[in-house]
Each structure stands twice: as C-alpha cells, then as structure tokens.
Structure 1
C-alpha cells in the first residue's frame, strides 16, 4: 500500500520556534528532508505522524484529512509508521514476535503473522534469527528488525527520522541499501529525514531543504545538490558556495585585495547583480606565499595586480577528513582539501596566509537569486 501526502504544517512551539512547511509526496514517492539541527525536521515528521498537533494548516493522506486546526486523527488510525534512530523494539519479545506485532494487531491469525514475520526477516537479511530477543542482536540487526516490523504493518506512509545516524559507516551503508530495495519493492511512500547527502542520493527522488522552520530549496535531488541555494546545502553537497557580484562575466568578492574568479562559461548576470560561485574543495590549489606573516603577505598582495582565479587568503581552522585535511580560509570563506602529507609539509596553522588558485574549468557561476519552488501535482 502507498499513499499520497498533501500537507501544510504550521506548528509554533513554546520556545518561540515556528514551523511553516508545505510538503507533498505522490504515491510510492520517496522524499528526503535535509536541514541543520533545530530546523524543525523532527517536528514536521511528528506532526504528520500525529504525535504533534498542528496550530494551522492541513494534513491529508490519500485525500483524507487527518489533521486540521480542529481535527486530529490519532496516530494509530493514520496508517503511518515512524522509524527513528532508536529501533524501539519490544525488549521482552523475540525478533519474530516484534515483526508479527503489526499483522496481529490488524487481525491476522498468530500462525500466519509469524510466517509473515519470518518472510520479512528473510527480506532484511535476518533469516534464522527470529528467535533472538533485541538484547541478543547488534545495533544494525535491531534496526533491520525495526524496518521489517515497520513494513510488515503495511503502512500507507513510512517516516524515517535519521535512522542511520547511530550506526557505524559500514552498517549504515548496508541498511541504506536495504531501505532502498525494500521501500521500492513495497512501493511505499516515504519521507526520509537525514543530515547526509548520501542518504538523499541513495534513497530519494526529491529533496526538500528545511532551515529555521521554512523550506529554502526543493527539487530533484541531483538538481538541488548541483546548484545549492544556501550555505548548508553547499556543505552537504561538498562544494564551496560564496556570494559576490557580477562584473564583465566574472565573479568579484572578498575584502581588499579583491578576488576575481572567471569560469569556462561567462556568467549571464548583469554587472552589479549578485552572483554565486561554486567550487569543489579538492579543485583548489594551495601554496605558501613568499611572506609568511599575514601583514607582510597582505601588503605584497595589495601592491600586485589582481590576477583572476588566484587570491590571498587566511587560514581559519583545519579539520581532519577521511581523505586528508580540510583547510578553512577566510576573505572569502572557502574550504580546501589537501592530502595529509601535503598538509604536514606546509605546516599550516590558524592565521597563516595562503595563496589559493583554481582553474576556470573548475569554477561554476550561477545566479544568486532564490530558487523557484515547483510544487508537484498529485493526481486524484
């Protein structure tokens, strides 16, 4: 079973936080919801699940209103399953009994429910472990049981609230693959809250970005990550995003001395208008300038002619990455990825001046105007 979702969720919390989101999902569609901590992602899912009452708006599942300002259908009658970081398995039940709980609650005979539970445990790679209780299973195995239990209940809508966050990378990858196959096989409509762009790419066809209680960008996952409209999306997509000004088809920004960036294709933005530059951290070259003090390097840079795609920057901080070291610089704020050996040779420290360069072919210039949000139509 799958359901269409059409929701306008308005919730104002006692701490003053306000959520105002319009969201739709077609039957069988998987929509990812990304945003920084405190953006309202979990509140959104809680409202759709029926755990939080909305102050204004409307939530409809398959065209049936389940929430308005005056109407509130209980969670058990919405046909919605919410799966979060904690599997929340019944500790006194075996894995088989946990999965069979939904079908039995719906009136399926005990023997048939247990047979169905065994089939679901096979689907999630736990064949032969149905007799074990949650305490006898690993965290990843418990999450598999939780997924099987969720799908065995034949929900019209599955809400996933960062279910992979507490798992190690290898286990998370296995569960992600499992989610992809099982949600597709069941043709289940799902909303997936995540902070990881990998989840969005692997699971969803559409991405909605939520910041400070409002949608800042939405569209096909590929389109959103390819043209991030906010700094949060740029970080999630693994690119630098800096807003400057268009002039003669180039990007200009930063403090004195001015930074000029040219791309392979000139920007189609009128001079003086806002222009965004997108650059991958690994595409930027980094060298030490002749002067090792910021004051000395800045004095030399101001005396030199501005060179497109090469500029002086100051190191703000360094952080470890799986592939090496990420150097964060200021004026403008840009991150540069370096191999560990290269970073060690340069012996960088916060406050150090560095010379950055990038090829025009690695620079993308896009208009800085707000993205157009196209709301998909749901048939029926």
Structure 2
C-alpha cells in the first residue's frame, strides 16, 4: 500500500494553538491499545496538548480525530462531555464526601447511566485495580496510591476511547509511586483504547509507553519508540532524560567532533557532517591531575554539582565541555569531589558514539 493510500491512525491529531507565549504544534497518532508518553520541560506544552484533546481548550488550527470521528477540525468542536474521554490528573480530585464506589460510579452516572448499573460498573473497575475491598472507604481513609487507583478506575468507568493521564503519579512518594506504576501498567495492558500519558519521570515513560513524544517550547523535538530514543537522543533535554551527555557538532573523517560551543570530542567511530555525539556518564573518569595513558579526551573542568543516587553520585562539570560523570561514592570521598573544585575529566574515544543530526 502506498503512503498516500494508507489509512490514518485510530488517534489522529494535529494540535495547533497559541496559549500565552507558547505556539503549540504537536502531531500525535496511535492505534487502540497503545500508550503515547509525552515528555518535556515545564511550560513546554504537554498539559496544553492534553487539554486540547479533551476539548477543554479549542485548537486554533489542525484537527482531532478518534476512530474516524472528527472531534475538532479547528472550526467546529465537540464539547468535552460529548467526547469519549477519560481524564486523570496529578490531584485525584475525588469527592471527599463519597465512598470509593460512588466516586467511580460518578463517571457513568454523569453520562446518564442509572444508579444500579453505574455502581455495578464501579465495583468491576475497583476490582480491576485491586480495591474491591475498599469500595466503602472515603478518600481520607485511603492512601495516596489507593486514591490514584480510584481516580484511574473512575476515568475508565465511562469506557473512554481516549484515556488522558496528566502526571498521574507525580504527587506520590517514591515507594508508593513504584507500586502504583506497576498497578497502572497492569490495568493499561487490559485497556483497548489509546492512552496519552504526560510525565516528567523517564521511568514512568519508559516502562508504560509504547511511543514517546518530546515537546519543547511547543514543538515536537523527537518522537519514537523507547529503544529509538534511548539509542539516539536528538535534543539536550532528551539526552538528559535518557541519562547521556549529548552534543551537537561537526564531525570529520578523523573522528574529531567540534561541538557547537567550541569544545572538541574525539571518537573511534567517525561520522562526517552535522552530528550528535553521546558520552555515557559512567564512561567519564575524574582525576586530580591531568591523566596519562589511553584516554584521548581530557578536559580541565570545575565541579558544579554533586548529587547522590544510591551507591553512586552524579557529578555536574562545567568547562570547555560541560558534562556529567557518574562515579562511586568511594571516588567522591577519595578525590574530595566538592562543588567549586577543579578536576580533570577523561573519556576513552571508544566510549564516544556519533550519528547524523
């Protein structure tokens, strides 16, 4: 089948609008059962995209089509209540005076379902998120993770064609977040609509989403599967999310990459022309004196930050080439790695990967 005759995806959207200083232009496409993860810095347009899909914000241009039905074409738009949408936010927004059962039943009740059938559906959804035994509990009697699962059950109780999750785990503590993420993954596996997940957390995106879309300053800077994004990040923000030092530059046939800010990186796998160069933080070694021997990349740098992460530390470095190193806690102590100290950073040329921009 030729590209021009291929049918559009089940979710087919081009969201274009102006909001404040943001000129948003985001294209999304997905098939039933898929999860799209939208990531990006604060103020980049992620939540605006979700609100436009839900019908809360009108699009200026573009379109939103779901299952062949036009929800918005830039001129006429279905109201939010006319769209088969489930919405879950960081704040669960549960009604404090209602039980978990009636909170979930509120969704179908608001769509005209009678009380008995709505409560039957609510019981089923609570069971599917593992909370059948807490049906009579009010929100104040539930943990934050349980409240999030009730909110998810409520969003799904209306049989939405499109499920929108805007930072659904951000208000949870780390332990609760991990357990709730696992519960969410299990429930989404059984959901046959399209899910759009907005998150700042790379782990949420990488473990829950089939396809990632990065939105920065209102524009899509990269889109692809998690494996594609992990292997070839294409913006500084994406590089940070996937945990790589990333540089735009000009490469030559000798393996030299001249970065945009005047730095030089040497690799054993040269790519000519406009390139991206990546360096894993774990490949960066730190020294108090200029190292001798095999490293072909050495830079005099200053420590800008030291952040502990479990049994290791990430050290932010600034200089002719700014980069992040990941070292052991023993190295932090032995080398006296403190903010403001000058050190040498070294990377073997074999650890530097390049690919076309």
Q: TM-score, normalised by structure 1?
A: 0.85
Alpha-carbon distance change, 258 to 174 in structure 1, aligned in 2, over 3 angstroms: closer
Give the Cα separation in 2 of the matches to 1:286 and 1:117.
Answer: 57
Residue 305 (structure 2) pairs with residue 317 (structure 1): yes
Whether the aligned pair in 2 keeps the contact of 1:208 and 1:219 (CA below 8 Å) is yes
Q: 1:163 maps to what in 2?
A: 168
Q: 1:344 maps to what in 2?
A: 333
Secondary structure of 1:11's partner?
Answer: strand
Whether the aligned pair in 1 keeps the contact of 2:267 and 2:351 (CA below 8 Å) is no
Q: 1:286 maps to what in 2?
A: 286
Alpha-carbon distance change, 88 to 307 in structure 1, aligned in 2, over 3 angstroms: closer
Whether the aligned pair in 1 keeps the contact of 2:316 and 2:324 (CA below 8 Å) is yes
Following TM superposition, by how much is the alpha carbon of 1:87 offset from its aligned partner in structure 2, in angstroms?
A: 0.6
Q: TM-score, normalised by structure 2?
A: 0.90
Secondary structure of 2:133's partner?
Answer: coil
Give the Cα separation in 2 of the matches to 1:198 and 1:81.
Answer: 23
> Structure 1: any 5+ residue segments left out of the alignment?
291-300, 370-380
Secondary structure of 1:37's partner?
Answer: coil
Q: What per-residue deviation string (whole Å, max 9, x for no partner) do you get for residues 82-109 of structure 1?
A: 1110111111110011112223334444
Give the Cα separation in 1 of the matches to 2:183 and 2:238.
Answer: 26
Whether the aligned pair in 2 keeps the contact of 1:258 and 1:306 (CA below 8 Å) is no
Residue 18 (structure 2) pairs with residue 12 (structure 1): yes
> Structure 2: any 5+ residue segments left out of the alignment?
1-8
Deviates more, 1:111-120 or 1:179-188: 111-120
Following TM superposition, by how much is the alpha carbon of 1:69 offset from its aligned partner in structure 2, in angstroms?
A: 2.7
Partner residue of 2:75 out of 57, 70, 75: 70
Q: 1:267 maps to what in 2?
A: 270
Alpha-carbon distance change, 343 to 335 in structure 1, aligned in 2, over 3 angstroms: same
Whether the aligned pair in 2 keeps the contact of 1:18 and 1:213 (CA below 8 Å) is yes
Alpha-carbon distance change, 69 to 248 in structure 1, aligned in 2, over 3 angstroms: closer
Whether the aligned pair in 2 keeps the contact of 1:259 and 1:308 (CA below 8 Å) is no
Q: 2:119 maps to what in 1?
A: 114
Give the Cα separation in 2 of the matches to 1:143 and 1:85.
Answer: 8
Deviates more, 1:22-31 or 1:309-318: 309-318
Secondary structure of 1:186's partner?
Answer: coil
Following TM superposition, by how much is the alpha carbon of 1:254 offset from its aligned partner in structure 2, in angstroms?
A: 6.4
Whether the aligned pair in 1 keeps the contact of 2:278 and 2:353 (CA below 8 Å) is yes
Q: What per-residue deviation string (whole Å, max 9, x for no partner) do you get for residues 228-287 of structure 1?
A: 100100110011112233233413346999644223xx2232xxx333221211221111
After superposition, residues 238-249 of structure 1 pair within 5 angstroms as 238-249=243-254
Residue 339 (structure 2) pairs with residue 327 (structure 1): no
Q: 2:346 maps to what in 1?
A: 357
Q: CA RMSD for the aligned pairs?
A: 2.4
Deviates more, 1:27-36 or 1:321-330: 321-330
Alpha-carbon distance change, 226 to 338 in structure 1, aligned in 2, over 3 angstroms: same
Alpha-carbon distance change, 59 to 257 in structure 1, aligned in 2, over 3 angstroms: closer
Deviates more, 1:276-285 or 1:239-248: 239-248
Q: 1:295 maps to what in 2?
A: none
Whether the aligned pair in 2 keeps the contact of 1:259 and 1:310 (CA below 8 Å) is no
Whether the aligned pair in 2 keeps the contact of 1:4 and 1:62 (CA below 8 Å) is yes
After superposition, residues 115-154 of structure 1 pair within 5 angstroms as 115-154=120-159
Following TM superposition, by how much is the alpha carbon of 1:305 offset from its aligned partner in structure 2, in angstroms?
A: 12
After superposition, residues 176-325 of structure 1 pair within 5 angstroms as 176-253=181-258, 259-263=264-268, 266-269=269-272, 273-289=273-289, 308-325=296-313
Q: 1:51 maps to what in 2?
A: 56
Following TM superposition, by how much is the alpha carbon of 1:127 offset from its aligned partner in structure 2, in angstroms?
A: 2.2
